[in-house]
Structure 1
Amino acid sequence: MYSIDKYYFKEFKIAPGHRANYAILCNPEFRENQWGMKYSPANNYLREYKILPLFSHPQIPIRYAEGNAVMYKEGKSVLVQNYLIITHFEGEDVVEYYKKRGLPDQREIEQVIHYFSSATLPLQHMHSKGYIHSDIKPGHLIVNPTTGTMALIDLECTIKIGEIICGMSKEYASPEQKQMIRLLRNGEDEKSVLKKIKIYTTSDLYSVGLIFYRVMTGKLWQEANIIPQEINKAIPDKLNNVILGLLEENPDNRIQSAEVLRAELEAV
């Protein structure tokens, strides 16, 4: 048994490629699988703790507590950890889920559409509040095949629309996010950068498109650069066009909102 502060969990789980480790809490006062804990010796979760109350949606985590304390294993101290306790969502990374199942065939595609249609709901809620997630990647969209929903998690990089980004995952970042980072790394100040480029909700939609493409083809768009239908012949024309509509380089030419995306998916 492990513990951090007054919170207990059975397994020490390290997620490769993620800055946070994660565990499901098993305190007797909590319901089973009610709360999860992100923990890390290096990351501070205060920013995410402050951001989470801005949203109220069943597919976005609720915060419970945040802090810093020694982690114990069977009563012996191990390491000081920063932690954040949030709603636990059953399920897994949507790309990993389909890696195990293989490329969606004609029958499975209907389910994939349902999952991504579900993901538009928390996105629409967040965008309607004037915020963008800005770090959407497979591990931040958790698919639950039992409920048919996807949860949107890890809001530590969430920003107001039009602000400077505070992080991104390179493989799933939009062209404008990458451009902003390049300008900042070249030494331009934030005011100058914001005169040249701003990040809007369409940036999140591009990231969703990259994930959708990978689920449907098993490949990264940047590496394959082939229309989805050429890789997976089961993809219907309308869905092929939706995915390409999310992957437009120019944000003005992209599908413009989560609401529009949901309508287009329902029309496939």
Structure 2
Amino acid sequence: MYKIGNYEFENFKYRPGHRANYGILTKPGNGEWGMKYSPTYSYDREYDVLKNFSHPQVPKRYEAGTGRGELYENDKLVLKEYYIVLQNFEGEDLVEYYKHKGVPDSSEIANVVKYFVSTAEPLQYLHSKGYVHADIKPGHLILNSATGVVGLIDLELSIKEGELIKGLTVEYASPEQKRMNDLLREVTDDKGEKAVLQEVKIDGKTDLYTMGLILFEVLTGKVRAQTTQLPIEINNAIPQKLNDITLGLLEEDPSNRIATVEQLKTELSGI
């Protein structure tokens, strides 16, 4: 029997994670929980952010170790790290799923569209609450291929619209995130931060850009930064409409980008 904080469970299945480690806590007959843990990184902010949301495709929060939590196996200490206990979403990283399955052909395009419509649902919910995920990337979109539902996870860098970013993953950051990050390197006080906010605004269009990067990668098997080709030039199974949607998400200037998740859903439904 394992125990951490208020949770007792029979099994602890270890899975390596991208920032910290990830384990699954299982209690037969009572479901599963996910647990992220790290020797150096506190999950207090993510725990606090998640209290604002209640959506079936956004993980519920259960408990966070504000200090180093102690994991016991049969009363023996086996782990002492920061942690957060969350709803576990079964499935596979959406990009990894297509790496294994292969670049989608014409018979698979309908599923790609369905999965991205599903991804849009929790994103639309976040935006309706005035939040930006600000860190959409492979590993944060979890596809349950049996149901076609995609879970949106890892909200530790989420911000309210118009706030300063809390960090970024450069490979999947929007142009405005990169611009803000560059400006913040020179900032030393509150006045400087206010000046940055006047110059760069982070809103839902940032998430839409990164959705475009993921869509490009799923459709082509290539990372956008590594090619100048259009999606349809790489994979001729892509319908012209879907090619145009991908490029509409990837507009460098936010004012030219697909503006809202609602618009994205409408465009996808027209394929």
What corresponds to 1:139 in structure 2? 139
What corresponds to 1:205 in structure 2? 208
Secondary structure class of the residue paired with 2:14: coil
Q: CA deviation at 1:73?
A: 5.5
Distance, in Å, in 1 between the alignment partners of 2:186 and 2:147 is 46
Tell me the matched-pair count.
264
5+ residue gaps, structure 2, are none
Identity of aligned residues (%): 53
Secondary structure class of the residue paired with 1:234: coil
Secondary structure class of the residue paired with 1:83: strand
Distance, in Å, in 1 between the alignment partners of 2:208 and 2:182 is 21
Distance, in Å, in 1 between the alignment partners of 2:8 and 2:179 is 41
Distance, in Å, in 2 between the alignment partners of 1:113 and 1:155 is 24
Secondary structure class of the residue paired with 1:24: strand
Q: CA deviation at 1:75?
A: 5.1
2:106 is equivalent to residue 106 of structure 1: yes
Amino acid at match of 1:132: V
Comparing 38-47 and 113-122, the one that deviates more = 38-47
Comparing 227-236 and 35-44, the one that deviates more = 35-44
Q: Is the Cα–Cα contact under 8 Å of residues 117 and 265 in structure 1 kept in the other structure?
A: yes
What corresponds to 1:225 in structure 2? 228
Q: Is the Cα–Cα contact under 8 Å of residues 41 and 79 in structure 1 kept in the other structure?
A: no
Alignment match of 1:55 (pick from 53, 56, 64): 53
2:12 is equivalent to residue 44 of structure 1: no
Give the CA RMSD over aligned residues: 1.6
Q: TM-score, normalised by structure 1?
A: 0.93
Distance, in Å, in 1 between the alignment partners of 2:230 and 2:73 is 50
Amino acid at match of 2:142: I
Q: TM-score, normalised by structure 2?
A: 0.92
Distance, in Å, in 2 between the alignment partners of 1:97 and 1:13 is 17
Q: CA deviation at 1:74?
A: 6.4
Distance, in Å, in 1 between the alignment partners of 2:75 and 2:94 is 36
Distance, in Å, in 2 between the alignment partners of 1:262 and 1:140 is 20
5+ residue gaps, structure 1, are none
Q: Is the Cα–Cα contact under 8 Å of residues 99 and 221 in structure 2 kept in the other structure?
A: yes
CA offset digits 1:78-129 (Å, max 9, x no partner): 4421111111111111011100001000011110100001111101110011
What corresponds to 1:253 in structure 2? 256
2:1 is equivalent to residue 10 of structure 1: no
What corresponds to 1:163 in structure 2? 163
Q: Is the Cα–Cα contact under 8 Å of residues 42 and 81 in structure 1 kept in the other structure?
A: yes
Secondary structure class of the residue paired with 2:77: strand
Comparing 152-161 and 218-227, the one that deviates more = 218-227
What corresponds to 2:123 in structure 1? 123
